[in-house]
Amino acid sequence: MTPDAPERAPAEEPTPPRPDSGSAAPAPDPRLAAREARRAALDLVRHLWVLIAAAARGVVRLGRRASARSGALMARGRARLRPDAASTARPPAPAVRPSARAAGFRRGGRIPVLRLAGAAILLPVLALAVYLLAALLTLPPLGGAVVETGQRAITVESDDGRVFATRGSFRGQKLTQADLPPHLAQAIVAIEDRRFYSHWGIDLRGLARAAWRNFAGGGVREGGSTITQQYARLTSLNQEKSLWRKVQEAFLALRVEATMSKDEILLGYLDTAYFGAGAYGADAAARRYFGKPAKALNLPESAMLAGLVRAPSQLAPTRNLGGAKERADVVLQTMVETGAITPAAADAARKQSVTLKSPPEAPPGTNYFLDMIAGDVKRLAGKDGDITVRSTLNLDLQSLAEGIVGRRLDKDGARRKVGQAAMVVLSKEGAILAMVGGRDYEDSQFNRAVQAKRQPGSLFKLLVYLTAYEQGFTPESIVVDRPVKIGDWEPENDDGRYRGSVPLRTAFALSINTVAAELGQEVGIPAVIATARKLGIQSDLPNVPSLVLGSGGVSLLEMTRAYGSVLAGRTPLDAFAIHAIRGGTPQPLYVHADPAGGTSLAQEPRTMMLDSLQAVVESGTGRAARVPGQIIGGKTGTSQDFRDAWFIGMTPDLVVGVWIGNDDDSAMNRMFGGEMPAGIFHDFVQRASEKLTKGKPRPAAERAEAARAVATPAGAAAAGEVRGVPEVIDTGTLTLRGRPVRLLGVEGERGHLARQLASYLRRREVVCTGVSDSATARCRIEGDDLAALILAAGGARASEDAPADLLGAEEQARAERVGLWGR
């Protein structure tokens, strides 16, 4: 913080580790460092001697003034006590020369007092001198700080090119005097050190003022370090907060001022300061936040960057855009006070919008996906240089998946004793379009879609039946549902019934365990394991009869990939998450291509397997996954004692895998795969087609909108329409002209969320249509749907009957963790 800053700035924020420059620096020459240290010592001893001499002269002057003042006071006292010659008969005392009295007073009192005062002042000065000398003798050479290696900067794009995440440290280019925008230099000097061009590295006036403000405020509120001191700390010292470091920082600042010009110091500071969001240096920050080099920054952008250096982690625009703008206003006001800009220029800059070219911090749910691809990025693109990754993630499907999983767990999780869920969405080609690794990434970073190995139950029967179809069985082959004993193992059906003779298609649709056990013995467990390997399952699979009922642990991604192989007709299906990786050269570092290896599934067994999967949804255990108008196939799975419940289903274009359970492997409340997992699949697939066709023209919707426009003449009020300034009962219920209005698709919240809505709606007109005593209404404010605004801000939950657009607004709020979804 500049010593003359007009505000109380927060305490000095520790600067995160600086990234490596990208090339190995030569080892410092010890002799050169020693010579530099000797020169620094001589310079600093001269400065120290000047300070001590000035202090001694001040002590002498102070002693003389105190002596003269005390003598005058004693003389006045004796004059008051001397009796009047006219009122006494006592003969006058013998005259004593004033000089003798003064000499006696000095001998009797003043000299010991002065000695004690001088010792009391000089001893701390000597102790301080010894302390300063020790700090001087251990002073590190300039630029001698060990630069810690930082992670390379990685920018991640979605499948359509939208940037949604960044990781690592951005380095940018070193600035030259020609590249430095004048406004950026003026803004930094104004807010950090307005006396930068007049002091000699240390601003004693600023230090005194900072000390007073910290004392008056009861804590550290202002740092008082100059730009030169900050540059010395960044390049030569560690970041510990101690008096020793501050003293050495001051000595190094003197040395920096003696060896570098002011412009060189300012450029060096701008190249090394941390600006938040992994950006080190002004050029890196300009590219990170605004998508441009530092030399292209305008005044409001320069003011925003200058405001970040005091608290970069708190004020990074990607995290706190409002706070960054408020701080930029302070910088602009400081620039006006220092004469760098005019008040008119500051007002114009405040009116000019600042648009970020990078997204806010990655939505928490996408971090499961980002963690998964980190190893692939390092393997495919090496370790050096900043890169951009075009991923396979579809942000619309990802938001939809997170919202549906969260909504189902909120509704039924506690009642059914379900604590966690995971979900994977693959395209027919194997691209990972969405991934939910758990209920909340901030609570647990364990990716249950990839890292967890759980028993799949009847989900594994796909591999048994596909093996049988490849060995000559057909869906019409008749098998017998009866009690079975294989060694010591006696499998039973979930419902305890035996149906006798049934076709294989029916046995698969109803997930009959006894038939699967006998079929496994017929085709052989090793053949089933071979089929699993062919479809891409790599987990250890026990060669035991119970494997046919899913006794081996597998991951959700593995099983979804195996089902995707059947849909695509390729073995194994290559499940991938990266389309391409670009570096600093025009030639891409990596481009995904279909693997040359792999084989095709035999067409007839594949067709029979797809038919059996459809039977599960049409008439079997997966009926809850049916979506009207769509071709759906899938399979349910429930492990022993209801510890895991699964559903993997497919459309002609997508494969969706869902798992629910508990991290501690505890049992759920009789949860089958055909219940919540199949319901999650249904909700997702029902709306996924809308997301996949987003942006395409929909003539039917356009015609309907035109029909409504014709049906309601301009200026006429629609039936049931009410206008007015509302009162808020809760975030889903208003009072409008004395009539209660319930918003369609919104489950209202009270408390501070309702108060925030009331503040937002104060003195603003709302137009509601469809208002009646029993129905819910749609309301608009200034052309925007009020329910959508409330749900997108996290002000309420969407109800079960909410339209798709309102469910999408809630999913957006969930993904961004705003309002009631925030932490």
For the chain, what's the residue count?
823
Residue 7 lies in a domain: no
pLDDT category at 467 given cuts 50, 70, 90 is very high
Q: What is the phi/psi pair of residue 442, to 5°?
A: -65, -30
User: Which of 116-125, 178-187, 596-605 shows the highest mean pLDDT?
Assistant: 178-187
pLDDT for the residue 452: 95
Domain match, 336 and 446 both: no
pLDDT for the residue 240: 60
Domain match, 230 and 106 both: no
Residue 334 lies in a domain: yes
Domain match, 128 and 213 both: no
Domain match, 414 and 500 both: yes
Instruction: Quote the tokens at residue 244.
Output: 């020793």
pLDDT at 306 > cutoff 80: yes
Distance between start and end Cα atoms, the chain: 31
Domain match, 683 and 730 both: no
pLDDT for the residue 34: 47
Count Cβ neighbours within 10 Å for each residue of 163-184 and write b for 16 or more, e otherwise.
ebbbbebbbbbebeeebbbebb
Q: What mean pLDDT is reported for the chain?
A: 81
Residue 807 lies in a domain: yes
pLDDT for the residue 816: 75
Lowest mean pLDDT, pick from 124-138, 377-391, 636-650: 124-138
Q: What is the pLDDT of residues 708-730, one digit of tens each?
A: 333 333 333 455 688 888 889 89
Residue 145 lies in a domain: no
pLDDT category at 68 given cuts 50, 70, 90 is low
Give the alpha-carbon dihedral of 464, 467, 471, 472, to 10 degrees. 70
Residues 396-412, mean pLDDT to the nearest whole number:
93
Residue 362 lies in a domain: no
Residue 141 pairs in a beta bridge with: none
Q: How far apart are alpha carbons 213 and 631 in whole angstroms?
A: 72
Tokens 């869902």 map to which residue? 658
Percent of the chain with pLDDT over 70: 74
Select from 286, 321, 351 the last residue of a domain: 351
pLDDT category at 405 given cuts 50, 70, 90 is very high
Between 195 and 18, name the one with better pLDDT. Answer: 195
Domain match, 123 and 172 both: no
| C-alpha atoms less than 13 angstroms from C-alpha of 393 in its C-beta half-sphere | 28
Between 118 and 277, name the one with better pLDDT. Answer: 277
Select from 641, 675, 692 the last residue of a domain: 692
Q: What is the pLDDT of residues 662-721, one digit of tens each?
A: 999 999 999 999 999 999 999 999 998 777 765 443 333 333 333 333 333 333 345 568
pLDDT at 42 > cutoff 70: no
pLDDT category at 449 given cuts 50, 70, 90 is very high
Number of domains in the chain: 4
CATH of the domain at 796: 2.40.50.90
- Element containing residue 402 per DSSP (H, E): helix 395-412
pLDDT at 301 > cutoff 50: yes
Residues 593-617, mean pLDDT to the nearest whole number:
89
Q: Residue 741: give the domain boundaries.
A: 718-821
Domain match, 203 and 130 both: no
User: Which of 25-29, 49-53, 350-354 shows the highest mean pLDDT?
Assistant: 350-354
Domain match, 687 and 744 both: no
pLDDT at 539 > cutoff 80: yes
Domain match, 671 and 755 both: no
Instruction: Quote the tokens at residue 740.
Output: 């209660």
Domain match, 595 and 679 both: yes
Q: How far apart are alpha carbons 494 and 364 in whole angstroms?
A: 39
Answer whether 0.85 is exceeded by the pTM.
no
Residue 475 lies in a domain: yes
Domain match, 535 and 616 both: yes
pLDDT for the residue 705: 36
Residues 66-72, mean pLDDT to the nearest whole number:
58
pLDDT for the residue 235: 80
pLDDT at 257 > cutoff 50: yes
Q: How far apart are alpha carbons 780 and 772 in whole angstroms?
A: 16
Domain match, 165 and 50 both: no
Nearest of 288, 283, 325 to residue 304 by alpha carbon: 325
CA distances for 27 relative to 24, 147, 370, angstroms: 9, 13, 37
